[in-house]
Amino acid sequence: MTRRAIVAANWKMNGNSALVNTMVTGLSDIKLAENVDVVICPSFPYLSELKSELSKANVATNLFVGSQNVSEHDSGAFTGEVSTNMLKELSVNYVIVGHSERRSLYKETSTQVAHKVNAALNAGLTPILCIGESESERATEQTETVLASQLQPVIDEVGIEKFVDVVIAYEPVWAIGTGKTASSEMAQETHQFIRQFLAQNNELVAAKVPLLYGGSVNATNCEELFAQADIDGGLIGGASLKVEQFSSICLAA
C-alpha cells in the first residue's frame, strides 16, 4: 500500500509575517515530490496571510495551511476559542488536535480531543491527531497502553471508517523539543503498533492512515526515520522555523 507522505510544520507560538514570507519564498524554490503534501501550521493570526501568500506565490499545489488547535464547539460563549467554520472560511485544510502541549498545559483530555477530531471531520478539515507517551510511561513499559487509551476514545466517537480522513502523529513527549529523537527502530516499532491497533478495528482503513513521527526531527535524522515502513512523514516543531532545514526535511519525505 503506498500512502501519500505528509510533512507538517508546527510553528507553535513562534513566527511572524516575516517568517510567513520567507517560508513561502523558500518553499517555492524547491521541487516537492508529487506524492508529498506539506502543511504549515502557524498561529491563528497568520493563517489568512499564509493562505494568501501561498496563492500569490508560484508554489506547488501540494502545500496546505493548517491550524494548531480548534474548538470542539460550533459557536457560542467560548472566549478565545476558534471554530471549525471560522477555519473553513479561511480555507484552512488541516488542524493539529491533541498536541502534547495542549494535553499537558491546557489539560485537554482524550475525550475532548475526540470531540475536536469529530468537529474537524464534520467540517471537512483533516485532523492531525497527536498521541504519545511520556518518558516515565516509556520507562515503565506503558507506551502501548497509553497510545491505546489516546486512540480508543477517538475511534469510539467518530468510528474507525472515518479514520481514512485522519492523520495520526506519533510524538513521544520526551522527544518533543528536547533534541532526543526516538531511534528509527523504536519509532518504527511504535508506528507498527499503532497501525496494528487500528487494524484490529479495520485492516483496510489501517493501511490507509498516514502515520507521522514527531519529536526533534531535523535535516540530519529525517531521512532514516522517513525510510521506515510505517512512517509516512513527520510533524516538525523547531526545525520548521528554519527555511533551509524545513525545505531539506520536505525533500527527504
Where in the sequence numbering do the catalytic residues fall?
Answer: 99, 171
Under DSSP, the state recorded for 108 is -
Tell me whether residue 132 is annotated as binding.
Answer: no
Tell me whether residue 136 is annotated as binding.
Answer: no
C-beta of residue 72 within 8 angstroms of C-beta of residue 118:
yes
Q: Is 133 in the site for ligand PEP (CB under 6 A)?
A: no
Tell me whether residue 98 is annotated as binding.
Answer: no
56: its cell numbers: 500569490
C-beta of residue 207 within 8 angstroms of C-beta of residue 1:
yes
Cross-strand bridge partners of residue 8:
39, 235
Tell me whether residue 180 is annotated as binding.
Answer: no
CB of 130 to ligand PEP, least distance (A): 7
CB closer to ligand PEP, 160 vs 212: 212
Number of residues counted as binding ligand PEP (CB under 6 A): 14
Residue nearest to ligand PEP (CB): 237
Residue appearing with cell numbers 491550524: 67
CB closer to ligand PEP, 160 vs 217: 217
d(CA 16, CA 241): 10
CB closer to ligand PEP, 163 vs 234: 234
Alpha-carbon separation of residue 50 from 20, 82, 148, 188 (angstroms): 6, 17, 35, 33
CB closer to ligand PEP, 160 vs 222: 222
CB of 20 to ligand PEP, least distance (A): 18
d(CA 89, CA 220): 37
Between residue 168 and residue 227, which ones bind ligand PEP under the rule CB under 6 A? Answer: 171, 176-177, 214-217
Can you list the alpha helix ranges (DSSP code H) found in the chain?
17-28, 47-56, 84-89, 100-105, 110-122, 135-139, 143-158, 184-201, 203-208, 222-226, 243-252
d(CA 53, CA 21): 7
Between residue 145 and residue 164, which ones bind ligand PEP under the rule CB under 6 A? Answer: none
Tell me whether residue 201 is annotated as binding.
Answer: no
Tell me whether residue 56 is annotated as binding.
Answer: no
Between residue 230 and residue 249, which ones bind ligand PEP under the rule CB under 6 A? Answer: 235-239
CB of 105 to ligand PEP, least distance (A): 12
Binding residues for ligand PEP, per CB under 6 A?
Answer: 10, 12, 171, 176-177, 214-217, 235-239
